Structure 1
Amino acid sequence: MLARNHVDAMSRLAASIRVAAFALLTGQLAPAADSSSNRFTPEVAGYLKTFKSGGALTDSSRALTPTETLKHFKLADGLQMEVVSAEPTIRQPLNLHFDERGRLWVVQYLQYPFPAGLKVVKYDQYLRAVFDKVPPPPPNHTKGADRITILESTRGDGVFDRAKDFVSDLNIARSVVCGRGGVWILNPPYLLFYPDKNHDDIPDGPPEVALSGFGLEDTHSGANSLAWGPDGWLYGAHGSTCTADIKGVKFLGQAIWRYHPVTKEFEVFAEGGGNTYSLEFDAHGLAYSGSNYGETRGLHYAQGGAYIKNWGKHGPLINPYSFGWFEHMPSKGFPPRFPQTMIIYEGGAIPAYEGQLIAGMSLVNRVQAAKLIRDTSTWRTEDTEAIVLTDDRWFRPVDTKTGPDGAIYMADWYDSRLSHLDPNDTWDKERGRIYRLSAVGAKPAPSFNLANLSTGELIKNFSHPNKWFRQTALRIFYDRHDAKAVPTLRTLVARETGQVALEAFWAVNASGGFTEEFALGTLNHPNPFVRYWTVRLIGDGKKVSPALEEKLIALARTEADSQVRSQLASSCRRLPAADALPILRELLLRTEDVNDTHLPLLLWWAIESKCGSNRELVLNLFRQPALWQTPIVSKFIVSRLGQRFTAERSEANLVTAAQLLTLAPSAREVDELVRGMEEGLQGDAVKAVPAAMQERVAAIWASRPKTPTLISFASRLGNPDAAAAALEQLADAKSPEPFRKKLVALLAERRVAAAVPVFLELLRKEKSESFQLEVLNHLPRFGDERIPAALLELYPGLSVELRDLARSVLCSRVNWSRRLLEAVSKGALPREQVPVVNLLAIQNHHDARCDELILKHWGNLKQSSEDKNQKLADVRKLLATGTGDIAAGHAIFKQTCATCHTLFGEGGKVGPDLTGYERDNLDFLLPAIVDPSLAIREEFTAFNITTKDDESLTGFLTENQPQSVKLLDTTGHAVVIAREQIASLQATRVSLMPEGLLDGLKEQQIRDLISFLAQKK
């Protein structure tokens, strides 16, 4: 239940505003970011004049004062909200960090969105910028407007009445943490370290460049959210639309990365996710981050994990042989996107939410609480309640932290605009707030300084109910690296069994006491997370002694906790093959993990990491027949092994694939290997097949039923009988339809010319419309002029669905498009039967004759902004003058929308699921229908592919592999295209949802459809 529950904090707020006014008078406030128009080359400036902005843009809504903002919050029972800092002291706050004195460090991101001193020379279709140069690091940089500000409450009332800048004039500063004798600032393209050994809040000198190479292409989405891990590494997140090239490690898009401040190592900890922002470690040291997806509360990142990405926009995974990925944590509850900032609340001061995930959802002006529920070796979430709601559109919680007092602190960007899809700098740079959300009656923490505590006093914090004190005490242990503390800490690890044991374990590592002898003992510790972290640190060391190897093998055999087994799999990826494979063997034998969310793929990735330079050791592992029969190996590993050694078609890999076929203990395993190898071979045939593989293919061909998978496998490896077998089975109406569909795809992909007359005959005589659709979908792969003639002949007798696809096929090649348009000119095909979506596809060919015919028969296709605005006004007026019938609207939805969209569990998966959107908000719903290209979610970006033989395809990239890509069209049909066949692959800013959806509906039908879409269930 929600209630208006406000605190009497106005006097405190007034004090904060007085301090802010003082800051303004004394010049502590930065000037607004440079508003010069000299940010673009003339070419880019011209391009931006026609760029269609989208998303939550600046509007006419009124900004509220901090006092007014408080009045608009609806808080869950038992909570109070206070403004602890606001403009003008703090503006555009992006990132928060509490130091060991309880002071709050704030990144004021005032330079956003344009780096000072740089000029945009190019934008891509996603508005990712290319700049004219790489900015130098401070102190030789072009000064910007960003600043790192320290806030302090001197009166003890919790309101930050003192503010000072640690450093100002920064240029795209995104995150800050203290530690290791100074301050770390993430300032892409750099990670900077400002020494401050005497802790006087004044840098000891110019910053050291710890890392260089974080991308600047998209300043809303780059590197972010520094956080110390319990292992002493400095972690950070990385957003989806920037690149990185750091110390030879290259990646594109979303990731969690880490840097070791002593060894200077940099690595990707885990890859993928949504537009990854925020980073949280729970009490067990597990890593989580927010996302821009809907129907989730974020991600739990396992070490070495690969997670879902937008494959077209953000590129493939770093490892092309991943062959799988993890999804976001499943969520039950409020579905709209997106929970970009999150914490696991373990502050001890708000018992109702202890252990819950707290997500700031800036797009919907909401803070959501959710239970974390163990789900095999990872987690899922179930929403409990919205703990903060408001009707203030400007409320944008972009960062969340637990404070020393156990309260939840939120940085509010405070702007009516949230979308980055507008190159114009219309951001409100005059406002920003920081709130404290706490239990009713809660008091601020008294003053303290953990850095002044002795080792014994620091250890007392390991039992503190607030995780912040435990984490900060641990960070100080790492700062000190005091070997004299090790004996006391080891005794504590041995004596305790709960959280204190884990904290002391981490502190042993911080103090230099993690040795082989110590690890041999802690692998038997009763706390599973002590065992987990022992395995983790051993893996990070990348080598093991014989004694540790023996212990890890035994642990893999007997470990009861799936998260420990998960970490064993992750750590094996980091160990030498000779040490890792015996451990992996024991894990593969564990039958209980076959249905684990993470473990099967983690085990595959560990094995795959040895397949390049240690293939003989991998083969030796699979010389054990019993291993092939285990559930995980049978279900997850065998096919991927086959795919791994055929995806990259070197002679050595193909010989290894042949050896695996020889080692397979039964026909079932041979079939699984063949299935995986066929997958790996998709996209192209092998040009040189080693003799060993030829022999195995011939033996299998002679001994096995001729399934589509075997036919495809043999065909790609040069078997001369495969194509004939495919055509024979295809023509046999008694063959199962799923088999025949696979053969259609194979023959089309291989462009077997003899298949064209067979396909056309099937199209004429086949009774199954589903099969006819499959045949139609693959006809564009052939440049045969018999195809358009046959389609135009058959067109009048086809069903509505077959006609729709037939037109799309005719639009896929320029010559065929001409024939379609000529048929209209001759009166053979009614003009009204060719919708705008087909005409737009034809225009992608940029053919003068086609453009001439379109202009002649249909006029100008593109609606102007004025036309769309008028249409919006007309629809609004129409809706205001009558009511709709939901049942009738349901029927219209099924006819016009359900092919692509799901609503209330009904419909297709091509476009976004509409259930979680603000469908009752006409300001959102109507523009999305009238102008669908206005704001396209990045995971639904369409791609245009033109092949070298002039086929044009449009759809969504569902796979992005080194040898091929897979494209899914709006009918749900998938096509694999070899990369060597692709002439161009480009994302389009045009939605696959056509404009003019409402034009064919009567007025009452429009009311009915909108009533159905806008209803709440």
Structure 2
Amino acid sequence: MHITLINLTPKIFSKRSLGGIFICLSLLNTSCKEEVQEEPFSLNEKYYSEDTQLYLPDDLEASLWAESPLFFNPTNMDVDAKGRIWVTEALNYRLFRNDPNKFKHQEEGDRVMILEDKDGDGKAESSKVFVQDKDLTAPLGISVIGNKVIVSSGPSVIIYTDEDGDDKPDNKEIFLTGFGGYDHDHGLHAMMAGPDGKYYFNAGNAGPHIVTDKSGWTLRSGSLYNGGSPHMIDNEPGMVSDDGKVWVGGIAMSINPDGTGLKVLGHNFRNSYELALDSYGNMWQNDNDDDGNKGVRVSWLMEGGNMGYFNTDGSRKWQADRRPGQSIPMAHWHQDDPGVIPFGDNTGSGSPTGITFYESDLMGEKYRGTLLASEAGRNVILAYKPEAKGAGFELNRHNLITSLPEEEVEDAKSRATDEDKTKWFRPSDVVVGTDGAIYVADWYDGMVGGHRMIDSTGYGRIYRITPKGKKLSRPEIDLSTTQGQIAALKNPAVNIRNAGFGLLAAQGAQAVPAVKEVLKDKNPYHQARAIWLLSKMGEEGVQIVEEQLEASNPNIRLTAFRALRQVNSDILPFANKLSKDPSAAVRREVAVAMRDMPLNQVQDILIELASRHDGDDRFYVEALGLAMDSKEEEIYPTLQEEIGAEALDWNPGFEDLTWRLHPRQAVNGLKERAISEQLTEAQRKKAVTALGFINDQSAVNAMQEIAASDIADVKDQALWWLRYRRNNEWNGFEMEIPELKANLSPEIQKEMLANKSILTKNNSSESDKIKAAQAMAKDRTGGMMLIGLAEKEALSEELKTEISKVIFQNPEQAIRVLAGDYFSKPSTSKAITLEDIRAIEGDVTKGKQVFLGKCATCHQVGEEGRNIGPNLSMIGAKLDQNGLFDAISNPSAGVAFGYEMWLISLKDGTVAYGFLQADGPIVVLEGLQNEVYNIPAEDIAARKRFATSIMPKPTDLALNETDISNLTAYLQGLK
């Protein structure tokens, strides 16, 4: 496959040293699938240029459509009916961490900009401010729907209405508010119009999200997440929303345009940056992992699905639930737990951003049906042609647009330097224009996420991708006629379709014939849009939609069923019919529609759906689990009678369904299977796992019997489950197993408790207090006790002075670092600057020795080092030299989630410190030697979470300029 290289030299800000930028667009369509497999394109790794460069396949071309100063720091884009691009800016990004005296910012708040190519030459020459508002602080989402401009800027979704069309807001409405994550990457994201006329959007896990819609319905979503912004408040796991459900972490939602009908569509993400819907109603998203854990994902979201970041109520991190032998990605997203949707494509490490679904034929029919996902951390736009597989999808990834040769995106060493800024391409969003072109926003920077940035000027760019030799022109959209409204409905731009949708729906029966004609369109996505619309156009339209339940295309059948669910309260006749559909995807839709319906109305449908499960479709069994949510105990006896058998004779489908439902009635059968040598090891272990999710004394008893058996493969597994569950869901049940609880008894900390008593007694002499304090300052436990006392302002200035002389020699690195927040640290040598290390050529071999000598005490690269801080095995895929130096020299500027240090003081005076892994009846801390502290909540007197990173600054590690230059050279090559 030939790759064409396009030269795109900026004319504005050209004084900047711009690195090579490449864009790779792979040929993604069913008809050329074999060609792609036989002749995958490769990039020219030897090509270097200081100009802006884009790699493209030979049927596409690219142009620099707009750049600063037309706008700055683009976070999100949308397109209006005139073909203009609207951009949200984030110049006021994390000014609580990023010095406003250094970084360009807006005193009057961030802005929404309108960019336009007035002369149609393929380059924007005009920009104007639509609104600048102090309520806009690093907004992460924008949608232009008619005369409404919907901006997502935590804690609120704000609607600005331009009544007179002068590109200035005449009205401002706080549409929804109460979302967590103010000025935070993991907060509120963009809202968009779905094919059904509702608005769809999502929010990351920086909650809690406590939001009431205009009908009075309240969402409450919380989790263990407590980091990242001084504006955050403590989350509370396990909150119940007005629908009676517990929604956890990041959430996807829909709402009616009038602000009523808020509904959760999926949950338990970390931070899905944006939600995309195709015209069938499928939801697509990406999500980032805990940095460095190679667990970033691009996913299809099943309605109501749990995507598995936390445990089911948000009280535990994945590390606390990781099972022996589990890979990090599988543990990270709880993929082996019943009740969790498959994560889709695991893309490795990164920082995913905007996402869209391309449905037009204007780029060529082969690009129709392509999911485009921005990946700012890896300098790439990823592309997928989702292929139906059972009740879910298979996602085969291609690098569509990237600033790096393909092998560097995937695995090779980074060559980014200050002069070569190929890694400064940070795609923050991708949208489709009214002309069918693809537009890519580039927040041009050497750092991405983590509350940090390097570029102080706010520079940004937008690229336009079009077919080679074919001019794509923005259409004139005439909404005054039915045909103009039909054209809008078929437009490539997502929110433009909504204008045609609304006006045609308002016409009712009068417009039905015109809309019905769209069902004959060769583009199936256009057909699907017509189905949604017809369902809103009265009795005649609904009748036509019902006829589509007989369509040959399963996507059309499931779209018709989805549409009928929204307008027809009696869907059971349709559900009964489609429960026998040959398509697993159609049957899946029937299953999720049954979730909140009474069992006496849907039991026959559920039995029919369950009977068609073959045990080899995780998406399907999860849909069945959602269908039977809160009905498990009631329906299981009937399932056993209709499709079950004796315990050792379960077929794969029933075995899988029992694992997913794990009702109490299955305990005896699961125990029998777990200890039967007639079954395979995998079957026995699956039975043990199912028992581990049954919260009942009978399951505990069965697990103890299995642990006492002679079958080695399940005996050890059962013992692990008992010890693990004792510290969470099974804490209140009776069990007898060997203790593993870390010993925090006063006996262990006896000497330090005695010294602490001297410090806190009024009758202790000053000399005795100084002696006790200095002894504590030299001890790991005593040092943390002193920090706790300083936090409570329980130490005199004289004592703090004496402690300062000793505590910075404490053997625990974390104590030496955290002590700097409370005690006077001895002066260090001159701070090292980026200019200092730029002048020195780094040596990779020597850099590895620096890592092993100074960093490996906390960080891992491959199998070397310790797993205390974030894994650095792929850090070079995310940061260039500037970003690495910033991370090394300013470690507290962006503490990774999960690596905030906690100090827990117990009522008996003892202390424990480490990383919080779980909160509940048993609080779980992971200590700095990888020891685990399981602490009963009732024993805790006080908690303290530190904002300071425990990673020392370079001067504290005695690193000089040469050491840091060598270290960054080594880290840059880790991909």
Which category describes the TM-score, using the shorter chain as reference length? 0.5 to 0.7
State the Cα distance separating 1:401 from its structure 2 match.
0.7
Structure-1 separation of matches of 2:956 and 2:557? 61
State the Cα distance separating 1:529 from its structure 2 match.
1.6
Among 537, 540, 543, the alignment partner of 1:511 is: 537
The match for 2:397 is: 382
* Cα contact 1:70–1:81 (8 A) shared by 2: no
Per-residue deviation, residues 519-567 of structure 1 (Å, max 9, x unmatched): 54333322212222233334446843xxx424423422x3333333333
The answer to which of 85-94 and 926-935 deviates more is 926-935
Q: What SS is found at the alignment partner of 1:405?
A: coil
Structure-2 separation of matches of 1:914 and 1:154? 47
* Cα contact 1:308–1:326 (8 A) shared by 2: yes
State the Cα distance separating 1:445 from its structure 2 match.
0.7
- Is 1:249 matched with 2:202? no
The match for 2:644 is: 626
Structure-2 separation of matches of 1:595 and 1:816? 62
Give 1:374-523 correspondences, 5 Å limit: 376=390, 377-384=392-399, 386-389=401-404, 391=421, 395-414=425-444, 418-419=448-449, 421=451, 428=456, 431-455=459-483, 458-459=485-486, 466=492, 471=497, 475-476=501-502, 480=506, 482-490=508-516, 493=519, 498-512=524-538, 517-518=543-544, 520-523=546-549
Among 806, 809, 812, the alignment partner of 1:859 is: 809
2:432 maps to amino acid: T
Q: How many residues align?
A: 818
Structure-2 separation of matches of 1:511 and 1:202? 33
Per-residue deviation, residues 30-50 of structure 1 (Å, max 9, x unmatched): xxxxxxxxxxxxxxxxxxxxx
Structure-1 separation of matches of 2:588 and 2:109? 45
* Cα contact 1:113–1:220 (8 A) shared by 2: no
* Cα contact 2:847–2:966 (8 A) shared by 1: yes
The match for 2:417 is: none
2:535 maps to amino acid: N
The match for 1:235 is: 200
- Is 1:5 matched with 2:6? yes
- Is 1:599 matched with 2:595? no
Q: What SS is found at the alignment partner of 2:476?
A: coil
TM-score (norm 1): 0.65
Q: What SS is found at the alignment partner of 1:5?
A: strand
1:178 maps to amino acid: V
The match for 2:743 is: 780
State the Cα distance separating 1:97 from its structure 2 match.
1.6
Among 304, 323, 338, the alignment partner of 2:351 is: 338
State the Cα distance separating 1:280 from its structure 2 match.
2.0
Per-residue deviation, residues 112-168 of structure 1 (Å, max 9, x unmatched): 557xxxxxxxx9xx99xxxxxxxxxxxxxx994444443333322233344455545
Per-residue deviation, residues 808-834 of structure 1 (Å, max 9, x unmatched): xx7999579999xxxxxxxxxxx9xx9
State the Cα distance separating 1:888 from its structure 2 match.
8.8
Structure-2 separation of matches of 1:1002 and 1:108? 38
- Is 1:155 matched with 2:119? yes
- Is 1:536 matched with 2:562? yes
Q: What SS is found at the alignment partner of 1:257?
A: strand
Q: 1:483 to 1:149 in 2, by over 3 A?
A: farther
State the Cα distance separating 1:175 from its structure 2 match.
3.6
The match for 2:29 is: none
Per-residue deviation, residues 338-386 of structure 1 (Å, max 9, x unmatched): 1212333444454586544434333455444456555550343423354
The match for 2:80 is: 99
Q: 1:931 to 1:211 in 2, by over 3 A?
A: closer
Per-residue deviation, residues 599-621 of structure 1 (Å, max 9, x unmatched): 3334323322447xxx7567766
Structure-2 separation of matches of 1:313 and 1:942? 23
What's the Cα RMSD here? 5.8
The match for 2:897 is: 938
- Is 1:608 matched with 2:569? no
* Cα contact 1:329–1:381 (8 A) shared by 2: no
Structure-2 separation of matches of 1:996 and 1:170? 37
The answer to which of 390-399 and 881-890 deviates more is 881-890
State the Cα distance separating 1:260 from its structure 2 match.
0.8
The match for 1:917 is: 875
1:309 maps to amino acid: Y
The match for 2:612 is: 590
* Cα contact 2:351–2:377 (8 A) shared by 1: yes
* Cα contact 1:346–1:467 (8 A) shared by 2: no
2:875 maps to amino acid: Y
1:151 maps to amino acid: L
Unaligned 5+ residue runs, structure 2? Answer: 22-47, 99-105, 223-248, 318-333, 405-419, 676-683, 759-773, 811-815
Structure-1 separation of matches of 2:148 and 2:735? 70
Structure-2 separation of matches of 1:91 and 1:570? 43
Among 276, 282, 290, the alignment partner of 1:280 is: 276
Q: 1:708 to 1:433 in 2, by over 3 A?
A: same
The match for 1:361 is: 375
Unaligned 5+ residue runs, structure 1? Answer: 18-59, 115-122, 128-141, 643-656, 683-692, 712-728, 760-774, 789-809, 820-830
The match for 2:344 is: 329
TM-score (norm 2): 0.67
Q: 1:151 to 1:495 in 2, by over 3 A?
A: closer
Q: What SS is found at the alignment partner of 2:340?
A: coil
State the Cα distance separating 1:508 from its structure 2 match.
1.0
- Is 1:901 matched with 2:860? yes
Structure-1 separation of matches of 2:750 and 2:442? 49
Structure-2 separation of matches of 1:744 and 1:574? 35
Q: What SS is found at the alignment partner of 1:298?
A: strand
State the Cα distance separating 1:1013 from its structure 2 match.
5.9
State the Cα distance separating 1:303 from its structure 2 match.
1.3
Q: What SS is found at the alignment partner of 2:306?
A: coil
Give 1:605-754 correspondences, 5 Å limit: 605-610=626-631, 626=644, 629=650, 631=652, 634-635=655-656, 637=658, 641-642=662-663, 660=665, 667-668=672-673, 706-707=704-705
Per-residue deviation, residues 646-667 of structure 1 (Å, max 9, x unmatched): xxxxxxxxxxx5xx36996984
* Cα contact 1:102–1:449 (8 A) shared by 2: no
Q: 1:985 to 1:497 in 2, by over 3 A?
A: same
Per-residue deviation, residues 581-628 of structure 1 (Å, max 9, x unmatched): 433333333333x343433334323322447xxx75677666757288
Q: 1:382 to 1:954 in 2, by over 3 A?
A: farther
Structure-2 separation of matches of 1:955 and 1:879? 37
Structure-1 separation of matches of 2:923 and 2:568? 35
The match for 1:884 is: 845
1:171 maps to amino acid: D
* Cα contact 1:148–1:168 (8 A) shared by 2: yes
State the Cα distance separating 1:107 from its structure 2 match.
3.0
Among 71, 74, 80, the alignment partner of 1:90 is: 71
Q: 1:566 to 1:879 in 2, by over 3 A?
A: farther
Structure with higher helix content: 1
Q: 1:740 to 1:973 in 2, by over 3 A?
A: farther
1:564 maps to amino acid: V
The match for 2:51 is: 71
Q: What SS is found at the alignment partner of 2:71?
A: coil
2:307 maps to amino acid: Y
Structure-2 separation of matches of 1:878 and 1:494? 66
Q: 1:578 to 1:484 in 2, by over 3 A?
A: farther
Identity of aligned residues (%): 20
State the Cα distance separating 1:7 from its structure 2 match.
5.3
* Cα contact 1:179–1:476 (8 A) shared by 2: no
Per-residue deviation, residues 784-837 of structure 1 (Å, max 9, x unmatched): 73xx4xxxxxxxxxxxxxxxxxxxxx7999579999xxxxxxxxxxx9xx9997
Q: 1:313 to 1:338 in 2, by over 3 A?
A: farther
- Is 1:552 matched with 2:575? yes
The match for 1:300 is: 300
